[in-house]
Amino acid sequence: MQINMKYYTLLLITLISTLSYAQNTAKVSKGSIGLGLHIACPQSELKDINYEDGFGLNLSYLSRKYPYKSFVNFQVGARMDFASMQNRKFDSIQVEIGDNNELATGGATVTSKNKMYGLFAFGRVNFGNDDSKFIPYVDLLVGHRNYTTYQLLDLNSPELYPSAESQSITERIVHTKRFHYGGSLGLTYRISPTFSLETSVTYTFGERGAALPLEDIERLEGSNEINYSNFQRVQTDMLLINAGIRIHLFTNYSHKTRTQSTNNTNTPKNTRYKDTPPARDTPSTNDPVIKDRDSTPSKPIKKAPIKIKSDGPKKDKNDKS
């Protein structure tokens, strides 16, 4: 009986010590950061008008899992995605520089670009915990997407015009921001406690908004001006095919036992000598260099504006004169 009591006592002490050590050195999840690439595929009416496919990246943050050790758990977070939806170039564009409307030697090149940007709050339901190797998941997203058509003008001989206001000018031509909602189906593969691989398919439904395919941007023959007025109002649904990594963040949990100090030191209430830094000498304002300096502010050099050469006044089609 004595041997059994000693055995159980030793086992209990060992168990308590092990649990205490595990608690003192445990890692507690505090969320994760995801980074991935995706192919952006327009859907619904956006696809019907031949809006271009694109390629981009996404960044997301997820909270820790709730409940932490449950096989079915959920997380909340935020997600941002971006995609460049191809571009189209127009060469030999005549541009005017400065107030005297001087024609730029070499002309300019105009590039039209379509881009997409999305920002979402989302929740994730996981079917697996941190001990699982493969974890299927479902996301629910609510947020917005932007569709923007840009015009980028580049001088072909910028070295000839150092006084130009810029060698490259970017303008936002068509911009649409619409409410989107949708979801994702995905799979996570846990490589280590810190890293995971992810793949998913995301679909978001969007409200109607203005969109301009690159093929509908026109430049009339023999003209410098580019027509961006052929945009259409369509449903802005989008499909993303994602692949990336997820970095898991942890907090090292530690518990220190408070011990009472045996040395009681009395802190003096009064200080006889306090070390203070020496006072800095202020610079004298009688310096002749400062005194004789011209107080009149210099005028900034005016940069020469750049603009596409106009075709001049347009003749009314109904005017038969």
Distance between CA atoms of 255 and 289, rounded to whole angstroms?
Answer: 64
Among candidate residues 108, 94, 112, the one with its CA nearest the CA of residue 154: 108
Residue 154 near residue 108 (C-beta atoms within 8 A): yes
* Per-residue model confidence (pLDDT) at position 60: 97
Query: What residues form DSSP beta bridges with 117?
Result: 82, 146
* Per-residue model confidence (pLDDT) at position 111: 95
| Whether the predicted pLDDT of 96 surpasses 80 | yes
Domains for the chain: give ranges and CATH numbers: 28-86+116-146+178-251 (2.40.160.20)
Question: What is the mean pLDDT of the segment spanning 7-11?
Answer: 53
Question: What is the mean pLDDT of the segment spanning 88-104?
Answer: 86
* Per-residue model confidence (pLDDT) at position 220: 81
Residue 124 near residue 101 (C-beta atoms within 8 A): no
Tell me what the pLDDT averaged over the chain comes to: 81
What are the b/e assignments for 245-264, b being 16+ CB within 10 Å?
A: ebebeeeeeeeeeeeeeeee
Question: What is the mean pLDDT of the segment spanning 296-308?
Answer: 68
Question: What is the mean pLDDT of the segment spanning 15-26?
Answer: 43
| Whether the predicted pLDDT of 321 surpasses 60 | no
* Per-residue model confidence (pLDDT) at position 28: 66
What are the b/e assignments for 157-183, b being 16+ CB within 10 Å?
A: eeeebeebeeeebeeebbebebebebb
Global pTM reads: 0.71
* Per-residue model confidence (pLDDT) at position 106: 87
Question: What is the mean pLDDT of the segment spanning 263-286?
Answer: 52
Q: Which residues contact 219 (CB under 8 A, 6 or more apart)?
A: 90, 225, 226, 227
* Per-residue model confidence (pLDDT) at position 282: 52
* Per-residue model confidence (pLDDT) at position 15: 44
Model confidence over 46-60: pLDDT tens digits? 999 999 999 999 999
Higher pLDDT, 163 or 123: 123
* Per-residue model confidence (pLDDT) at position 317: 54
* Per-residue model confidence (pLDDT) at position 101: 79
* Per-residue model confidence (pLDDT) at position 318: 57
| Whether the predicted pLDDT of 173 surpasses 80 | yes
E strand or H helix at 9, and its extent? helix 2-25
Question: What's the pLDDT band for 256 if we cut at 50, 70, 90?
Answer: low
| Whether the predicted pLDDT of 290 surpasses 90 | no
Residue with tokens 């009688």: 286
E strand or H helix at 38, and its extent? strand 27-42
Model confidence over 203-253: pLDDT tens digits? 999 999 999 999 999 988 878 889 999 999 999 999 999 999 999 997 665
Residue 237 near residue 244 (C-beta atoms within 8 A): no
Higher pLDDT, 267 or 208: 208
* Per-residue model confidence (pLDDT) at position 252: 60
Distance between CA atoms of 102 and 87, rounded to whole angstroms?
Answer: 29
| Whether the predicted pLDDT of 25 surpasses 90 | no
